[in-house]
Structure 1
Amino acid sequence: MGLVSGALFLLWKKHKVLRYLSPFIGATLMIAVYFFSYWTMFGIGTTFNSLFDLIQGVSCAVLACLLHFALEKAGAFRLLN
């Protein structure tokens, strides 16, 4: 999830709105992989756990976007350049 999100974020660095979609795309990929692994290893009955993975992925993506937006507004990334 982190690798995909980071790569897409760097790829879309110039776009103001589009780059904030990358954590949600990474979370969607995480949920798809977890769903497939639950289904293949334990059967279709355990795919209910993917709902909790959905909550985890979306909440982490929202927190990451909010944190990055706050740090960007505070000028923290100008110190790195």
Structure 2
Amino acid sequence: SYHKDVARVKLALWFNKVEHKESPHFKTVINTFKNHYERILNFFESRFTNASAESFNAKLKQLRATFRGITDTKFFLFRATELFA
């Protein structure tokens, strides 16, 4: 397990290594990492991810797709509560 400071150094070394690549895909990945740098490093302190929130969001999207055309918000919230609470 890494400490945040160790992860910071390793990530910086990786940036230096990959920034010399000519592939636009690497540049996209590096920009994404740079935009979320502190949040990525926070993982090494708390070991928490947003995977459970993403999973719940996907389930809600699937439920919404299943009930396409339903305009009754109360019914939708009732079904979501019954299924996921």
Larger gyration radius, structure 1 or structure 2 = 2
Query: Whose helix fraction is larger, Structure 1's or Structure 2's?
Result: 1
**TM-score, normalization: structure 2?**
0.36
Pick 1 or 2: higher relative contact order, CA cutoff 8 A, min separation 6: 2
**TM-score, normalization: structure 1?**
0.37
